[in-house]
Amino acid sequence: MNATRVLLQQRQPMIRFLGKRAIPSQVDHTPHVHPASPSQSLPDSFASYRKKAQQHGPLNQSSQYSTIGGRPGSQLGPVEAGKGLHFDRSELPQRFQRLAWTQAEIEAVESGGASTYA
């Protein structure tokens, strides 16, 4: 009886071991305000950029940023523009843009290919 009372009176520290740290299974990756932001607000540009931008698939998918290569590309959804939208080639990453002609290529075309054998 007394032993139980002693046990019940024992102090419970506020510090508790919670077990090994693990990454939460559900992490919300949509942009939120940074905890140290003085204004406690995000400008509209964050949402508007994500609406139009395409980076390895549309950006406005919430579960996209798990880890690099965490999901196969096919699962990232279609890369086509949304309804009523279109992409200009110049908005794509540079590797998808038209290549500028080099001087050697211009000469090759103008000389009918002769310059490549000169």
- How far, CA to CA in Å, does 68 sit from each of 23, 46, 65, 71, 73? 15, 21, 8, 8, 11
Taking alpha carbons only, the member of 92, 60, 62, 57 closest to residue 76 is 57
Residue 93 binding other proteins, by CB under 8 A = yes
The encoded tokens of residue 9 equal 């009176």
Pattern 14-43, other proteins, x by CB under 8 A? xx-------xx--x-x-xxxxxxxxx--xx
What is the end-to-end Cα distance of the chain in Å, rounded?
106
> Residue 64 Cβ, how far from other proteins at the closest point, in Å?
9
Radius of gyration of the chain (CA): 29
Using the minimum distance from each CB to other proteins, give the nearer residue, 1 or 44. Answer: 44
Q: How far apart are CA 17 and CA 11, in angstroms?
A: 16
> Residue 79 Cβ, how far from other proteins at the closest point, in Å?
14
Of residues 51-90, those binding other proteins (CB under 8 A): 53, 55, 59, 65-68, 70
Question: Residues interacting with other proteins, by CB under 8 A?
Answer: 11, 13-15, 23-24, 27, 29, 31-39, 42-43, 45-46, 49-50, 53, 55, 59, 65-68, 70, 93-96, 99-100, 102, 106, 109-110
